[in-house]
Structure 1
Amino acid sequence: MTLMRPTGSWDGTRLAHEGFVFADDARLVERVVPFVLEGFRRDEPVLVVAGNRVRSLLAAHLGADLGRLAAFDAAETFWRGGHGTLHAYARDLRDLRRRAPSWRLAAEPVWLAREKGREWSRFEAVANSCLDDVPYYSLCLHDARQVPADVLADVARSHPLTWDGTAPVPQPAYEDPAAVVRALQPPWTDRPGAAAVTPVTTPVAARRRLAAAVPAGHRARRDDVVAAGHELVVNALRVAPWAGLATWTDGDVLVVEVSDDGPGLADQTQGYVPPDPEKGPRGMWLAWSLADDAAVRTGPAGTAVRLFFGA
């Protein structure tokens, strides 16, 4: 008889991050119900945040034990864009840490099935580093009947653990978070010839240039464009005597590029990582969160960041 180990050798001191892909209801129940019941036996808070179908299945199989869950919430209400969702997630984890030494979460990011929710794969990857010291087991549920195959491939790249039928095991396709971010960010294409780079030496000059460059179709986003570009220019001027500023449109998307000839970013994931509420820094996080998306190229010869703003 094979003994199932729902969390393997996890000792409750650090993050364990598993991507579980299922294609039928029975496989889901066989994985999640023992995971939940083990948490009850260990007196760990158990949280479930999932779509309606998953919650209905679990409710039917847990019966009276359903009331023992610390949370049983609809995932459909949690999506606030990548930055907003991770920021709220990190805040909730900080609160939990004050109340429990360790806990476990079964979560279904249902938004990955939608085009605008696919950016979450980058944030899932970054969570491996920025939440590494948080003592909980995160069992991420992905329905292969709903989530596209290419997104499921990204799930494998962003989760260190997978399920072998009896215990969590290392995911062979897992990649370093920075590599996942580079691979999944918007493609870096050549700048249009008409998009000349203007050197700026002060944040004030950058704000004026940006405010004047916002086209009529993007006037509603002008404050976001100026504030986000300002943050990037401030960062650039910390490592170089001037920053390069360029703007152009690509269809209905306004692109803002800020570049410098500094030493390059030491951490390419920092625009994705929620800032420490007391210490920061928060400049790149703020810039990323104000834009619809972002891409970066960095190395010893300098850094260029592009922010994308829809109309």
Structure 2
Amino acid sequence: MTRLRPTGDWDGTRLAHEGFVFSADDELVERVVPFVLEGFRRDEPVLVVAGERVRGLLAGNLGSDLGRLTVFAAAETWWRGGHGTLQAYDRDLRALRATAPSWRLAAEPTWLAREDGRVWSRYEAVANRCYDAMPYYSLCLHDARRLPAEVLAAVDRSHPLTWGGTAPAPGPAYEDPAGFLRSVQPAWTERPADAVVGTVTAPVQGRRALSAAVPGDRRARLGDVVLAAHELLVNALRVAAFAELATWTEGDTFVVEVSDGGPGLPDETLGYVPPDPATGPRGMWLAWSLADDAAVRSGPAGTAVRLHFRRHPPGALR
């Protein structure tokens, strides 16, 4: 029999990111329990954040070892939207980095079963880039009995590792984070004929134009729209003498596009990357966090960013 290697040849110096899809309880137990016990043998902090059923299975199989876990928490209360969840996750990772040379995490993002939680696949993809130097093994648990096929396909595309039966193996469907994001962001179509387009040479011009352009039935979003677009205009005017600001409505969505003729973005994933606390918030992160969705087109001839703001019913959570 081949000896089980829960983390393969991982040496604890950089991120290892595995998407583990299971369709039976015993598959989950056989994968996660050895993963946890290996962490104990290596004196690594082991964190488990999962749904109620998964926690119950692990508790029953770990027995007295359950108390050795550094964290054993319910995933159901962790979802705060994509940006809010990742920001809290980022804070916890930085705290661990300050106290442990390496650690491991078994996490079940239960919110992927929700319509509003499926955006998490984008953050899973970006984690491969922004946490590459973090010394931990992230074992992401996905129950095929609960998740739709399109979510499971995104798991395969956003995780560089999968389970090979006795050891982790390269995921054959894994995609570069920027390419993955381009494929799942809103489709980039031609501006409609009735789009309002103007040239902006200072952010204050853009703020004034947007204050007038936001439709009356979504004035409750005015602050979000103006602040998000302001951040993009500031970025655009750092690399170009002027920016173009366009606005239009698609169904129940108000779209803002900011474009420039600069050299292009160094990294199209920046809107999903948490800002470094030492350097303050980044404009794209703030803009993405205020909008309901975003899309990017960038290259040597310039960058265009579209922010989507939906009309939310009164009292609805974003």
TM-score (norm. length: structure 1): 0.98
Cα separation, 2, equivalents of 1:220 and 1:54: 40
Residue 225 of structure 1 is matched in structure 2 by 225
SS at match of 2:142: strand
Q: Percent identity?
A: 75
Cα separation, 1, equivalents of 2:185 and 2:266: 18
Q: CA deviation at 1:281?
A: 5.8
Q: CA deviation at 1:263?
A: 1.6
Residue 17 of structure 1 is matched in structure 2 by 17
Residue 125 of structure 1 is matched in structure 2 by 125
Does the 8 Å contact 2:17/2:160 carry over to 1?
A: yes
Q: Deviations over 1:219-275 (max 9, x none)?
A: 111111000000001111111111111111111111111111112112111111111
Q: CA deviation at 1:305?
A: 0.5
SS at match of 1:10: coil
Cα separation, 1, equivalents of 2:296 and 2:61: 46
Q: CA deviation at 1:196?
A: 2.9
Q: CA deviation at 1:148?
A: 1.1
Moved over 4 A (4+): none
Q: Deviations over 1:95-153 (max 9, x none)?
A: 01111111100001111112211111111111001000111000000111111111111
Query: For structure 1, which segment, 162-171 or 112-121, has the greater mean C-alpha deviation from structure 2 after superposition?
Result: 112-121
Residue 234 of structure 2 is matched in structure 1 by 234
Q: CA deviation at 1:54?
A: 0.6
Cα separation, 2, equivalents of 1:17 and 1:194: 45
Cα separation, 1, equivalents of 2:217 and 2:75: 34
Q: Deviations over 1:159-212 (max 9, x none)?
A: 110001110011111111111111111111221110031111110011111111
Structure-to-structure mapping, 1:95-106, within 5 angstroms: 95-106=95-106
Structure-to-structure mapping, 1:193-204, within 5 angstroms: 193-204=193-204
Cα separation, 1, equivalents of 2:102 and 2:263: 40
Q: Deviations over 1:266-293 (max 9, x none)?
A: 2111111111111246011111111111
Residue 38 of structure 1 is matched in structure 2 by 38
CA RMSD in angstroms comes to: 1.0
Cα separation, 2, equivalents of 1:246 and 1:116: 27
Q: How many residues align?
A: 311
Structure-to-structure mapping, 1:174-213, within 5 angstroms: 174-213=174-213
Residue 7 of structure 2 is matched in structure 1 by 7
Cα separation, 1, equivalents of 2:274 and 2:213: 29
Q: Does 1:52 align with 2:56?
A: no
Structure-to-structure mapping, 1:78-89, within 5 angstroms: 78-89=78-89
Cα separation, 2, equivalents of 1:53 and 1:212: 51
Q: Does 1:289 align with 2:295?
A: no
Unaligned runs of 5+ in 2: 312-318
TM-score (norm. length: structure 2): 0.96
Q: Does 1:307 align with 2:307?
A: yes
Residue 152 of structure 2 is matched in structure 1 by 152
Residue 140 of structure 2 is matched in structure 1 by 140
Matched to 2:172, the amino acid is P
